[in-house]
Structure 1
Amino acid sequence: MRRDVFQAIADPTRRDIIQLLAGKPQNLNSIADNFDISRPAISKHIKILTECGLVIIQAEGRERYCHVSLGGLRQVAEWTNQYREFWNEKLDALGDFLAEEKKNKRKK
């Protein structure tokens, strides 16, 4: 099953795993050492991240290393960008309004 990127990043532990792997690839045990949850729970989080394409697992000898693949976050960036533009416009309008109010108060 291919999961949704939004579903994957909805969980704070998965966001922390992405942040951790952005620094360098790590094996499952190394990832688990950074959290106060069980290794099976970390494996479940990694599975979800893998299913949505944010993590790629590569076998290197007996170890399985997790590599982050941030390209999947492009969808999130595009979705949030539309709201960024909206709020920038609103905040610019508010700034203009406040500047005009300040100017009008000085005139009085």
Structure 2
Amino acid sequence: MLDRLLDGPATVSQLGANHAISPGAISQHLRVLEQAAMIRRTLNGRQHHIELDERGFQPVLTWAEKYGAFWGANLESLGEFLMHEKSDER
């Protein structure tokens, strides 16, 4: 559903159209995303329009940056180690 919202706002029906889950499960999923501030919901009559909300993604980006630096350094070290081992085999 989040991938679909990258293309722009959508109604709840549009978001659920390609998923083999019940409307209740879709609503529950959207409520969780809304509570996490990852989506915003606006009402237009009886239709609920959903769009991405960048506020909820900031903690995820901060976390990923922190661990990305860790893994980047460790993967670089691993690559150097493997290159050294490969040259020792020759």
What is residue 46 of structure 1 aligned with on the other side?
A: 30
Q: Which runs of 5+ in 2 are unaligned?
A: none
- Per-residue CA deviation, residues 56-75 of structure 1 (Å, 9 max, x unaligned), is 11122442211111331121
2:74 maps to amino acid: K
Q: Which runs of 5+ in 1 are unaligned?
A: 1-16
- For 1:80 and 1:64, the matched residues in 2 are separated by 31
The runs of at least 4 aligned residues of structure 1 exceeding 3 Å deviation read 102-106
SS for the counterpart of 1:53 is: coil
What is residue 36 of structure 1 aligned with on the other side?
A: 20
Cα offset for 1:105? Answer: 4.0
Give the RMSD, CA atoms, in angstroms.
Answer: 1.7
TM-score by length of 1: 0.72
SS for the counterpart of 2:6 is: helix
Q: 5 Å matches for 1:9-28?
A: 17-28=1-12
1:33 maps to amino acid: A
